[in-house]
A and B are shown apart, each in its own frame.
Chain A
Amino acid sequence: MAKILSYEEKDTWIHRLSGVTKLVFFLLWCLTSMLTYDTRVLAVMVAFSLVIFKISKTRWKQVGAVFKMIMLFLVLNVTAIFLFSPDQGTHIYGTRTVLFHIAGPYDVTKEQLFYELNVIIKYFTVIPAVFMFLVTTNPSEFAASMNKVGISYNVGYAFSIALRYIPDVQGEFTKIKHAQEARGIEMSGKASFISRIKNTSSIIFPLIFSSMDRIDTVSNAMELRGYGKHKKRTWYMERKLQRNDYLVIAFTVVFMVIALAVTYSNGSRFYNPFV
């Protein structure tokens, strides 16, 4: 479980890029994908995402479980759109080509299907980018990158500290759970759902109390070593921007500009094949 979506050291040019570059790419890429509904642009982005995903040598095992979760959300999302707004496609594209009738106000129209297809493609432009960013960026470098793009180092460091202590807290959680199970507090499937929720408190409270002890030590340790002394700090794991980084950032910006120009060329965010 612990290995899912976590960084893995590999030697590809994507791994060698600075975290700043990947963060910039990730943010701009997602922004572009959010803004455009132009199917042609989205299609190019999907193709491109898949290529990047391939190059980053990400294995299915690293992301499979999360991918399935996202698929579940996608299905829910698409269904919900249809249920709540079956004529969204008509609204957008201005025509109404009924394929067949279901019941009440629910007609399946070509326009609705096309609209929802665009939503699905949007998911697929972003998913590989998210995965790529998470599994190829060294978490230590992540904090440094956030700081570099202008976010306060406290935020970055909070991330870092969380990553640092998650395994410790997990270990502590298992220990406490075991001890409470031995006292007779049932946490397995044998107990009813309600009593399991109630029983969780017998793990959560000890976990909180032992974590509080830890927090005190950690904050003392950080202060004793000068954390927060200056408005800025340097980062041991920071990666300097190299030629490739500039190329990628330049490419991303250019791509975004072109993509948005193409998208808005007809005066709306949508590409309309129906007129």
Chain B
Amino acid sequence: MEPIIEFKDFSFKYRAQAEPTLRDINLSVMPGEKVLIVGPSGSGKSTLAHCINGLVPFSYTGDITGSLKIGGKNPADLGLFGMSKIVGTVLQDTDGQFIGLTVAEDIAFALENDMVPQEEMFKKVDEVAEMVDVKQLLGHAPGEMSGGQKQRVSMAGVMVDDVDILLFDEPLANLDPATGKRAIAMIDQIQKNKKTTILIIEHRLEDALYRDVDRIVVVGEGRIVSDTTPDELLAGDILEKQGIREPLYITAIKHAGCVISPSDHPQHIETMNLESYKQPLKDWFASAEGKKPGKETASVLKVEDLYFSYVEGSPILQHIHFDIKKGEMVSIVGKNGAGKSTLSNLICGFYKPTKGKILLNGEDIAPLSIKERGEKIGLVMQSPNQMISKPMIFDEVALGLAVRGVPEEEIKERVYRTLKICGLYPFRNWPVSALSFGQKKRVSIASILVMNPEVLILDEPTAGQDYRHYTEIMEFLKEINETYGITIIMITHDMHLMLEYTDRAIVIADGHLIADDTPAKVLTNEVIADKAYLKKTSLYDLAVNCQIDNPSEFAERFITYEREHRILKENRADG
């Protein structure tokens, strides 16, 4: 059989760049294979995807050496439109990919462009909609749908073309964990039913491996670092070296001092042979330390019996109550649309609660205006592009002070101090446009920190970031939390974030508070995880399968160990 994708000594350099982004790529994919492509940001994995779907060289031009054949043909001969008949791409941004005004039109988009007669379109759209289970939604507009549903529409939109290859660009990035799991199952089903070749680009390895894949290709610094089976890859240490997060159960087994053998099938925790790891894990559990109880501090933000509704009779939030202590790092979690953002909007004063109180340091903040609250409670938006409005870094960070009429000398001093804290001082006279995404994120955080808030609320601080950038941003937040005692609240659906960096998780589902506990307890509680569209952590399964009787304590000790381990590792790196 001929490979459907074949790279031979392939290199690619973007026109605007000095160095090639991809070097000496040799990769073959056989028809019907399911391949996962992983790699950190900037590794070249997105460029690899662009080469496969034709955006390189047709939309992004540059120099190509070596050869690439898709379906036995040279992409340059087929053109972008010819390529779109062979490769269907599902983009990460489900909103951006949703072009039609309704589901049916979006699915039909490719057919319309191909001048398919209407009768045939109706038939085809129905057929494909059935396949991805969106038949009931055909008349819906994108605004009425969840992220998971929109993604299924995107899949249908490329499947109408009967493509041979489906390429998924970070399919999990914008989905809550439970929906992500469903998406992976759906992809698996498509591959089994239609024998389509599937390529998934994703850095959330553990979630992507929810269903079997044939191979995992690891891309690092423009080269293919590894191309092997999941079992082989998980047993080795390539992932750690490349800065890609291993599945948590794998890390836990390694912490217990075990060497993982590929023959034990570590791809899925449910079916992995754990016999030889049980005893070491039990020993490790017995010796590992639990979480140290934190100091009791005073309450900083207290919410009492909060209700909110736009229209009377259909409440968005009901009976929400929690008490956040000074210096805590807390996550607010729950599925998309559960009311998390509404809660932060109420705290910041954009909306008024229907009932209930919000107290800051024991005082009701109802009389305070948005601006006054903004001096005490800072809000950082998901994307720095949603906040940055000045061309120069200094001006951007100074903005909040300038509009408050702070004297110029003081502004200068406070901005410089904040820039130092955020590691941006060397760039103080730079334009914002010269910064990387992570640095821009810091600028947006700095522009809030400069006002000396007591509480910082961050909306999805790590969305769309790979493990390295994720760690960078989170370590920075942890540092300002620990060093300056700023209370940090994060709205997220990233389970790793809540598990690794927060002491407490406030879980909201369908407008109700359903849990307020340590992340380890929340993520080992099936009922809560289900209701909030989270996923049980694999540490739970690992503990249960090893007959460890307290899975949530196991998870707790794992996190404590991880945190200390990370600090040690950093110190080693520094010194």
Contacts and interface: CB of A to CB of B under 8 A. Distances in A.
A188 B349 CA distance: 14
B371 A182 contact: yes
Interface string A207-222: 0011001100110111
A206 B99 contact: no
Contact of B385 (A210, A229, A238): A210
Contacts of B113: 225-230, 233
B115 A233 contact: yes
Q: Is the interface of B mostly helix, strand, loop or mixed?
A: helix
Contact of A203 (B59, B95, B101, B389): B389
A238 to B, nearest CB: 6
A218 B484 CA distance: 42
A226 B85 CA distance: 9
B383 interface: yes
Given A183-B374, A184-B400, A236 B111 contact: yes
Nearest to B383: A210
Contacts of B375: 184
A181 interface: yes
Given A178-B345, A183-B374, A238-B118, A220 B350 contact: no
Contacts of B345: 178
B379 A140 contact: no
Nearest to B453: A182
B99 A182 contact: no
Contact of A234 (B53, B97, B118): B118
Contacts of A172: 386
Contacts of A184: 371, 374-375, 400, 403-404, 451
Interface string A7-26: 00000000000000000000
B82 to A, nearest CB: 9
B89 A224 contact: yes
A234 B388 contact: no
Interface in B254-271: none
Interface stretch (A91-99, A119-127, A163-171): A163-171
- Which of A175, A179, A181 lies at the interface centre, i.e. has the most chain B CB atoms within 10 A of its CB? A179
Contact of A182 (B98, B374, B383, B404): B374
B115 A202 contact: no
Nearest to A210: B385
A140 B101 contact: yes
A86 to B, nearest CB: 49
Given A172-B386, A206-B386, A217-B91, A230 B101 contact: no
Given A160-B101, A176-B387, A210-B383, A226 B84 contact: yes
Nearest to B450: A183
Interface string A135-164: 000011000000000000000000011011
Contacts, number: 168
A232 interface: yes
B81 interface: yes
Interface in B363-402: 370-371, 373-375, 377-379, 381, 383, 385-390, 399-400
A137 to B, nearest CB: 12
Contacts of B377: 182
Interface in B434-454: 447-448, 451
A224 B55 contact: yes
B385 A221 contact: no
Interface residues on A, range: 35 or more
A258 B382 CA distance: 62
B80 A223 contact: yes
B313 interface: no
Contacts of A228: 113
B96 A221 contact: yes
A222 B158 CA distance: 11
A2 B84 CA distance: 36
B93 interface: yes
Nearest to B98: A164
A176 B386 contact: yes
B121 interface: yes
B522 interface: no
B90 to A, nearest CB: 10
A249 interface: no
B230 to A, nearest CB: 29
Interface stretch (B102-110, B236-244, B509-517, B567-575): B102-110
B389 A206 contact: yes
A206 B388 contact: yes
Contact of A209 (B80, B142, B388): B388
A218 B112 contact: no
Which 4 pairs between the two chains have the least Cβ-Cβ distance?
A217-B96, A182-B374, A236-B108, A226-B113
28 contacts: A140-B101, A160-B101, A161-B99, A167-B143, A176-B386, A178-B370, A178-B379, A179-B386, A182-B371, A182-B377, A183-B403, A184-B374, A184-B400, A202-B399, A206-B387, A206-B388, A217-B96, A217-B97, A224-B158, A226-B84, A226-B85, A226-B113, A234-B112, A234-B116, A234-B121, A236-B121, A237-B105, A240-B118
